[in-house]
Amino acid sequence: MTGKTEHTRWVKTSHWIVTVSFMTLAFTGVVILMAHPRLYWGEVGNDLTPALLELPISRNYKHGGWKKSVAFFQEKTSPVSASRTYDIFNKNGWGRSLHFLAAWLLVLTGAVYFLAGVFTGHFRRHLVPRPAELTARQFWHDVREHARLRIRAAAGGPQYGLLQKCAYFGVVFLALPLIVVTGLSMSPAITAAYPFLLGLFGGFQSARTIHFFAFVALVLFLLVHVVMVIKSGFKRQMRAMTFGESHENE
């Protein structure tokens, strides 16, 4: 018989809004990071303190150094300042504005998607692995098949394997909420109203570092997701996720 399986309109719409938002956030986030490509742990961090990780993504990475440091006051405990010996890259004002705009679009769309997913049963039916599926044998079988790029043909709808369900579950319920909350923790206006957020992550710089690694995880997921779409039937997948209808033979 012929059965019809396709994504609902609200899933398609939210999928593409989140995609555009995330791509905008990724681009502007890199531009912002280029101004200070160093990550720290704790509350504070700057060019004069040791970094947890330095990223070679702009001329601000391992720069030309500093001129002689100058104390603000005569006391020994006085803070010091040092002028850079190079022209710093710091053209990210537009990037920050666009980053925040795209972030709120992602948050609002994500909230609608989450509520719809709960109340329509989308998560229960398609994203949350069933207890019977959660076996080591099934998991490693899926891992081997994906590692060998043995991807089954697209069914045109949300019929996911165990590894796909685990990946989507991690993105929807872990990575995306984490990147949103750590992003909010870096906003002075938000932390002034909800100071517990900084304590939750161990400080501003810790939240920034976690935010970056959550971003890396999402980018890796996106790359694998694109490979999966291509290998399982690009045209059919795109048709099923846009305005077309797709059918499968049962």
d(CA 37, CA 211) in angstroms, rounded, equals 14
pLDDT over 90 for what percent of the chain?
36
pLDDT of the residue at 218: 96
> Which tokens go with 107?
């948050």
The residue ranges of every structural domain in the chain are 2-249
On the question of pLDDT at 2 being above 50, the answer is no
DSSP 232: T
Question: So what's the pLDDT on residue 226?
Answer: 87
The string of pLDDT tens digits covering residues 5-60 is 567 888 888 888 999 999 999 999 999 999 889 999 999 888 778 899 999 888 77
pTM for this one? 0.80
pLDDT class of 250 with cuts at 50, 70, 90: very low
Fold that domain 2-249 belongs to in CATH: Fumarate Reductase Cytochrome B subunit (1.20.950)
